[in-house]
Structure 1
């Protein structure tokens, strides 16, 4: 009780001696905080408008996986921006909470009344804190909504992939008589083309083909015999090597 009265007396003395400067400082801080609240409210509104547009795009591009990926990336950027908007008040909220703790709770019933300036400041801080919390709640709700859209896109992409793997094709046309007839015509055309080429080769190119084959065989025989005679003495097996390499075995 004694310390309570002492604190009230000290607060009253400080208020009387520095009331003009304190009022000016509080007004400046309040104006700065009010401007921050207005700015962040506009930021949240802009983010909400962009989210509405992207949500409509998700519905329009439900069958386009690439478009869904692009929308998801944009939503992730919006989610981070919403969280940053909520974090913009961290410093001011810490100052408000510290100041409210310094002022202490209102006097209980039956206790001496505190100075009006203390009561007014406590009320102003509480009102400012309520406005800030409202903006933070809006930003957090928007972030939750955006994360819900991101999860929805993930489910939609999974469904698209699963439907693609399990897609059924109509085989009636592929097994129709017309398909068999077309296949028969194609094989017939291929057979005629190959047979015509073979007949032409045997009739008009047989001598040239035989000459080329005999020449190739003769050159191969010359290279084989000459190579062995020329390099046979260079590449001789070494009995001391029990497991020669593959290249060594080829060269012997």
Structure 2
């Protein structure tokens, strides 16, 4: 009897002395969680305000593709920030769930009531979890909203691209009688200028033109014929070789193309030189 009374006294003393310690610990934990909730709530509010501004920009009828891309990039940053804000509560939610599991469910009806310290702790944890879930839900809703805006931007860019491709231009001015008249005047002026030059050249410079052309042709022929005689073995395929190497075929193709090109270039250059000289 004496020992039972002594054990009861010890239990009462522990409960009385442990209550302030638990209250202080619970207040410290609650204060830290409350600060985290307040910080992340502020973050979500700022992200929501920024999203509202970007959504208003989407309503601008003069928005071009570059502007839509810029808005999309900012929305993707907001979505990542919202998910990061929601993940900030992961550790605290794990701690709350673990503690609630340790405390166990409340006693059923008809069973002896649990100590007030346990019921108060469970209520505080449930209330804290509800506040955290509310902030997490806000972050998730913002992320869903941002994803919807990103999809909307994709549709807008597609429609903008189609509108640019299928845009109708007014061709009335380009096909007007005045345009045809101006084109006729320009062509007539070009024809008169060229015909006048040819008439003058044929009447007064025919011999000089003929001499300059023949000399230019002679230089080109000398280069072409002489080049073939000097370097014929380089760009002419050897008929005795049935399967020439790739490098040999490439060399033949290169030199056989280079020599006529040089001859043509010499012809034009010498023709211009002699025309200017005479």
TM-score when normalising by structure 1: 0.83
2:110 counterpart of 1:110: yes
**For 2:71 and 2:61, how far apart are their aligned partners in 1?**
9
* SS at structure 2 position matched to 1:214: helix
Aligned-residue offset at 1:13: 9.3
Q: What pairs up with 1:1-252 in 2 under 5 angstroms?
A: 18-60=18-60, 63-223=63-223, 226=226, 240-242=240-242, 246=249, 247=252
**For 1:42 and 1:186, how far apart are their aligned partners in 2?**
71
User: Once structures 1 and 2 are overlaid, which stretch shifts more, 213-222 or 82-91?
Assistant: 213-222
Q: Deviations over 1:136-184 (max 9, x none)?
A: 1111111111111111111111101111111122333333222222221
- CA 1:15 to 1:204, structure 2 compared with 1: closer, same or farther past 3 Å? farther
**For 1:166 and 1:203, how far apart are their aligned partners in 2?**
56
**Alpha carbons 1:37, 1:135 under 8 Å: kept:** yes
**For 1:34 and 1:214, how far apart are their aligned partners in 2?**
100
Aligned-residue offset at 1:206: 3.2
- CA 1:23 to 1:201, structure 2 compared with 1: closer, same or farther past 3 Å? farther
User: Once structures 1 and 2 are overlaid, which stretch shifts more, 174-183 or 33-42?
Assistant: 174-183
Aligned-residue offset at 1:128: 0.6
**For 2:53 and 2:63, how far apart are their aligned partners in 1?**
17
**For 2:131 and 2:198, how far apart are their aligned partners in 1?**
92
* SS at structure 2 position matched to 1:113: coil
Aligned-residue offset at 1:66: 0.8
- CA 1:180 to 1:21, structure 2 compared with 1: closer, same or farther past 3 Å? same
Q: How many residues align?
A: 241
**Alpha carbons 1:61, 1:67 under 8 Å: kept:** no
Equivalent residue, structure 2, for 1:5: none
Q: What are the ranges of 5 or more consecutive residues in structure 2 without an aligned counterpart?
A: 1-10, 260-278
Q: Deviations over 1:66-121 (max 9, x none)?
A: 11111110111011101111111111011111111111111011101100010101
User: Once structures 1 and 2 are overlaid, which stretch shifts more, 151-160 or 176-185?
Assistant: 176-185
Q: Deviations over 1:224-252 (max 9, x none)?
A: 5655665679999866324666529959x
TM-score when normalising by structure 2: 0.76
Q: What are the ranges of 5 or more consecutive residues in structure 1 without an aligned counterpart?
A: 1-10
- CA 1:187 to 1:78, structure 2 compared with 1: closer, same or farther past 3 Å? same
* SS at structure 2 position matched to 1:168: coil
Aligned-residue offset at 1:222: 3.9
* SS at structure 1 position matched to 2:59: helix
Q: Deviations over 1:8-49 (max 9, x none)?
A: xxx999755633333222211110000000000100110011
**Alpha carbons 1:37, 1:132 under 8 Å: kept:** yes
- CA 1:238 to 1:123, structure 2 compared with 1: closer, same or farther past 3 Å? closer
- CA 1:237 to 1:176, structure 2 compared with 1: closer, same or farther past 3 Å? closer
**Alpha carbons 1:44, 1:139 under 8 Å: kept:** yes
User: Once structures 1 and 2 are overlaid, which stretch shifts more, 44-53 or 56-65?
Assistant: 56-65
- CA 1:52 to 1:14, structure 2 compared with 1: closer, same or farther past 3 Å? farther
